[in-house]
Amino acid sequence: MSFFPSALDDLVEKFASLPGVGLKSAQRLAFHILSLSEAEAKSFADAILAAKANVHTCPICQNLTDEDECPICRSDSREDGVVCVVASPKDVAAIERAREYNGKYHVLHGVISPLNRVGPDDIKIRELVDRVAQGGIREVIMAMNPDTEGETTAKYISRLIKPFGVKVTRLAYGIPVGASLEFADDATLMRALEGRQEI
Amino acid sequence: MSFFPSALDDLVEKFASLPGVGLKSAQRLAFHILSLSEAEAKSFADAILAAKANVHTCPICQNLTDEDECPICRSDSREDGVVCVVASPKDVAAIERAREYNGKYHVLHGVISPLNRVGPDDIKIRELVDRVAQGGIREVIMAMNPDTEGETTAKYISRLIKPFGVKVTRLAYGIPVGASLEFADDATLMRALEGRQEI
């Protein structure tokens, strides 16, 4: 039983339905909304509606966009022949921040994960295969997280697209820049040794 | 610089403006909103607008309500002569949960806190004094948090309302039920000794 007005209870419930938000936090957030001005609260509600109404996936790379095609797919200055495959739009943002990559992307919106009941048909693998089948792509870079699910997904996709004659690569594994050897885990050290390069 | 569509950026920014929500959490929450159905997102936005539009303070006790007067002030079965003064609507909810108190409330919406630039006029003290001045109240229970600001506020209010001949009390300090003496802090133990009762 609650001792708040029902409109406040409803809002607390909405916030509590968000991932990682417990009941106490949801209460704090709902009280914060009440402390906003009418206009600020409206602009919050509008931001939810606008994001939902305007943001959709790019028909080419499946990244999130509010235009017909995303700016990266539309760009003439980026290499068409190289496609970097990532699990989520956040990974595109991370790679773009590094300012090193100048090709295109493909966003899978997930990785193959039998434990979470995510199969190959639940993520955007078919769209990638179709892109590769259309030709013009010479290299596909797998940039999934270096965990079991990421590697399984990379191997699965690699088997599907290699027949089209594209080069399939993956991000280098190794010691993170600025990290200390002493604290690197065994798996990372092993990968770093395997991938050692001549200097 | 961001690499998300602007409608998504706007939503991330809104979430990040909430108390205790950092940029990464705000991104997670915004992505969750995108994963909702159109109807679910609309119902979230509507909950914000409804809470803001319908929830206001009760003209008598200043607690939050979505009716003209709150159910506790309206209730005939609750004692009119006893008023429990709390800092926030959450404290009303806490005391109601204990199912022990059968009087009315007064919600201050804050405590006096010079460090945070909250003076007596910034919280609902005048409204309480007016209630007491109208007569019919024989006891006012101070139920602020047992910290410096809570005690200062209680003392300040107490000085204002005692001239009207009301009894002013405060919640008992002591060992929390179920706690262990061994781990009680010195201040609590001291208060518990001071307030010892005959059995």
Determine, yes or no, domain membership for A198: no
**pLDDT, position B185:** 83
In the predicted model, is pLDDT for residue B198 greater than 80? no
Determine, yes or no, domain membership for B199: no
**Residue of chain A minimizing CA distance to B91:** A3
Determine, yes or no, domain membership for A119: yes
Residues B146 and B48 in one domain: no
Residues B98 and B163 in one domain: yes
User: Could you report the per-residue pLDDT of A50-91, keeping only the tens digit for each?
Assistant: 999 999 999 999 999 999 999 999 999 999 999 999 999 999
Residues A32 and A68 in one domain: no
Residues B103 and B41 in one domain: no
List chain A residues with CB under 8 Å of B13: 47
**CA distance linking residue A78 with residue A80, whole number of Å:** 6
Helix (H, G, I), strand (E, B) or coil at A70: coil
In the predicted model, is pLDDT for residue A1 greater than 70? no
**Residue of chain A minimizing CA distance to B89:** A4
Residues A46 and A64 in one domain: no
Residues B50 and B139 in one domain: no
Question: Are the Cβ atoms of A5 and B43 closer than 8 angstroms?
Answer: no
List chain B residues with CB under 8 Å of A46: 45
Q: DSSP E strands: which ranges in chain A?
A: 56-57, 64-65, 82-86, 104-107, 139-142, 167-170
Determine, yes or no, domain membership for A46: yes
Determine, yes or no, domain membership for A15: yes
Closest CA–CA distance from residue B47 to any residue of chain A (Å)? 5
A-B C-beta contacts closer than 8 Å: 141
Q: DSSP secondary structure string, chain B?
A: ---S-HHHHHHHHHHHTSTT--HHHHHHHHHHHHHS-HHHHHHHHHHHHHHHHH-EE-TTT--EESSSS-HHHH-SSS-SSEEEEESSHHHHHHHHHTT---SEEEE-SS--BGGGTB-GGGTTHHHHHHHHHTS---EEEE---SSHHHHHHHHHHHHHHGGGT-EEEEPPP-PPTT--GGG--HHHHHHHHHT----
Residues B42 and B130 in one domain: no
Mutate to test the interface with A, among B2, B17, B43, B55 (most CBs of A within 10 A): B55
In the predicted model, is pLDDT for residue B1 greater than 70? no
**CA distance linking residue A101 with residue A93, whole number of Å:** 11
Mutate to test the interface with B, among A48, A57, A84 (most CBs of B within 10 A): A48
User: Could you report the per-residue pLDDT of B25-39, keeping only the tens digit for each?
Assistant: 999 999 999 999 999
In terms of residue numbers, what domain contains A22? 6-54
**pLDDT, position A51:** 94
Residues B78 and B121 in one domain: yes
**CA distance linking residue A80 with residue A64, whole number of Å:** 19
Question: Are the Cβ atoms of A11 and B50 closer than 8 angstroms?
Answer: yes
User: Could you report the per-residue pLDDT of B61-94, keeping only the tens digit for each?
Assistant: 999 999 999 999 999 999 999 999 999 999 998 8
State the average pLDDT over residues B192-199: 79
Which CATH number fits the domain that encloses residue B12? 1.10.8.420
Residues B154 and B92 in one domain: yes
Residues A151 and A77 in one domain: yes
**CA distance linking residue A158 with residue A181, whole number of Å:** 32
Q: Are strands B56-57 and B64-65 parallel, antiparallel or unpaired?
A: antiparallel
- In percent, how much of chain A has pLDDT > 90? 75
Question: Are the Cβ atoms of A45 and B49 closer than 8 angstroms?
Answer: yes
The single residue listed with the structure tokens 């005048």 is B126
Q: How many domains does chain B have?
A: 2
Q: What is the mean pLDDT of chain B?
A: 91
Question: Are the Cβ atoms of A52 and B29 closer than 8 angstroms?
Answer: no
CB A73 within 8 A of CB A61: yes
List chain B residues with CB under 8 Å of A6: 66
User: Could you report the per-residue pLDDT of A23-38, keeping only the tens digit for each?
Assistant: 999 999 999 999 999 9
Mutate to test the interface with B, among A1, A2, A3, A43 (most CBs of B within 10 A): A3
Closest CA–CA distance from residue A168 to any residue of chain B (Å)? 25
Higher-confidence position of B96 and B125: B125
Residues A50 and A62 in one domain: no
> What pTM does this model have?
0.78
Chain centroid offset of residue B79 CA: 21
Residues B121 and B160 in one domain: yes
Which CATH number fits the domain that encloses residue A142? 3.40.1360.10
